[in-house]
Copies of this chain bind each other. A is one copy, B any other.
């Protein structure tokens, strides 16, 4: 039941900035991605699925070289390409509407399997704000939560630093290719995250920091995380975009209050007015998330990357480890069934069911009906 079985074909789409939906449509149209990539320019144009720039890129000789480079990059230790729907692709991220087609990772990819909390905020934070971000991150990381942020200066940096101090470590979601670290002043922190945590990007190697990539990147920060905490944010800031995205993804949003005379607290106050939870400590967050985290935060045994990823290392992304399990399918019959019933029957968490349903829908096994109900197709 794997969706994408050929990594070079996927990388060809990846370097041409294809979305998941475009890839699925191409696959459906041509039978497989390999066949799609053998189609003529005219055939591809006729599908009306591609933007002109993407078409141009696909037929650019440079493309093959980029795919080769990406293949080689992904064969190095601690560097991976995770296709949507594959075993190690993070389940929470898989359940969002516009999940990335392919996720590159540098560092301890197994950290992506642990529950994460996003901590974001202003690049121009106060000293107190930085201290608060680091304290929250350290406390929650000690409890086993991975701390996810965007490697920006200010709150992001403090959050990563705090996360590195606990067992949950930290996940940096960047808007550049994984072969560079931005901003330059975070070189040392970036290298430490690659060493002890994990760095993640949906952008091809070589991608420079481009303004319009940052808001797009933010959906991954919130999408990876059970919740997003905003520590100091001005009105109309990028952190509020991440928080909005988290709300749209049905995730919890937390905000730290501050003085009404601090402009960097105004974004947090706006969020609280809109329904975000006011939090004063990491404990507040753990209590709010307790039902979702259930037993996920049991102290982890020391990471055993070698064992966990021995197979992966040898068989990097063959069809074998792209196979999927969908226990939820057995509960879906030809009569429509709703989310509530699926939760009761399967005893799976909602996000896991959502993630499975999306895959089942994309792979044509189930059909989504109105009012959030599904039925089996084959």
Contact = CB atoms under 8 A, between A and B. Distances in A.
Chain A interface residue bracket vs B: 10 to 19
A278 B261 contact: no
Contacts of A269: 257, 278, 280
A281 interface: yes
Nearest to A284: B273
A72 interface: no
A304 interface: no
B277 A273 contact: yes
A259 B260 contact: no
B272 A257 contact: yes
A283 to B, nearest CB: 12
A198 interface: no
Contact of A260 (B261, B273, B280): B280
Nearest to A268: B257
Nearest to A126: B259
A259 to B, nearest CB: 6
A125 to B, nearest CB: 13
A223 B272 CA distance: 27
A319 to B, nearest CB: 50
Interface string A232-273: 000000000000000000000000111111000110010011
Contacts of A260: 132, 256-258, 280-281
A129 to B, nearest CB: 10
A61 interface: no
A278 B255 CA distance: 12
26 contacts: A128-B259, A128-B261, A132-B260, A256-B260, A257-B257, A257-B258, A257-B259, A257-B260, A257-B265, A257-B269, A257-B272, A257-B278, A258-B258, A258-B259, A258-B260, A259-B259, A260-B280, A260-B281, A266-B280, A269-B278, A269-B280, A272-B272, A272-B278, A273-B277, A273-B278, A278-B278
Given A258-B259, A259-B259, A273-B277, 12 more contacts: A132-B260, A257-B257, A257-B258, A257-B260, A257-B265, A257-B269, A257-B272, A257-B278, A266-B280, A269-B278, A272-B278, A278-B278
Interface of A: 128, 132, 256-261, 265-266, 269, 272-273, 277-278, 280-281
